[in-house]
Amino acid sequence: MKWARRLDGRGVADAATAVVLALLVGYAIVDPPGRSSWWPAWSAWPVAVVVSFPIVLRRRRPRAMLGLACAAGVLVTVTGAVAAGAIWVSFVPTVLVLYAVASTTSVVWSLAGLSACLFAAVTAVLIFYARVFPGLAPAGPPSELPQAWPIEIGVAGVLLAAGWGVGTAVRWKRDTTARLVRHLAEAAVADERRRIARELHDVIGHSMSLIAVKATVANHVADAHPQEARAALAVIEQTSRSTLTEIHRVLGLLRSDGDLQQAHLPVPGTADLPELAAHARSAGVEVDLTVREEAEIPPAVALSVYRIVQQALTNVVTHAAPTRCSVTVDIDDREAVIEVIDDGPRHGRPPRAGHGGHGLIGMRERVKMYGGTFSAGHRPEGGFRVSAHLPYDPNGTVT
Top mean pLDDT of 40-44, 128-132, 244-248 is at 128-132
Q: Which residue has the higher pLDDT, 71 or 253?
A: 71
Run of H or E including 60 = none
For residue 376, being part of any structural domain is answered with: yes
140 shares its domain with 12: yes
C-alpha distances (whole Å) from 108 to each of 96, 102, 173, 366 are 18, 9, 17, 48
The predicted pLDDT at position 169 comes to 93
Instruction: Show the CA angle centred on residue 351, arms to residues 345 and 355, nearest 5°.
Output: 110
Of 128, 152, 183, the residue at which a domain comes to its end is 183
What is the number of domains present in the chain?
2
For residue 253, being part of any structural domain is answered with: no
Is the Cα dihedral 23, 24, 26, 27 positive or negative?
Answer: positive
Of 183, 205, 232, the residue at which a domain comes to its end is 183
Run of H or E including 356 = none
Q: Is the pLDDT of residue 373 over 80?
A: yes
For residue 242, being part of any structural domain is answered with: no
The C-alpha atoms of residue 394 and residue 399 are separated, in whole angstroms, by 9
61 shares its domain with 177: yes
Confidence of residue 262 (pLDDT cuts 50, 70, 90): very low
For position 281, which CATH number holds? Answer: 3.30.565.10
The answer to whether the beta carbons of residues 81 and 29 sit under 8 Å apart is: yes
179 shares its domain with 287: no
Of 183, 210, 241, the residue at which a domain comes to its end is 183
Q: Which residue has the higher pLDDT, 389 or 211?
A: 389
Q: What amino acid occupies position 309?
A: V
For residue 226, being part of any structural domain is answered with: no
Domain that holds residue 168: 2-183
62 shares its domain with 171: yes
For residue 123, being part of any structural domain is answered with: yes
The C-alpha atoms of residue 293 and residue 330 are separated, in whole angstroms, by 6
For residue 355, being part of any structural domain is answered with: yes
The predicted pLDDT at position 4 comes to 45
The answer to whether the beta carbons of residues 250 and 196 sit under 8 Å apart is: yes
The candidate with the shortest Cα–Cα distance to 163, out of 73, 108, 96, 105, is 96
178 shares its domain with 285: no
DSSP state, 298? P
For residue 248, being part of any structural domain is answered with: no
Mean of all residue pLDDT scores within the chain: 78
The mean pLDDT value for 267-271 works out to: 82
Phi, psi for residue 167 in degrees, rounded to 5 = -60, -40
For residue 212, being part of any structural domain is answered with: no
Q: Is the pLDDT of residue 142 over 60?
A: no
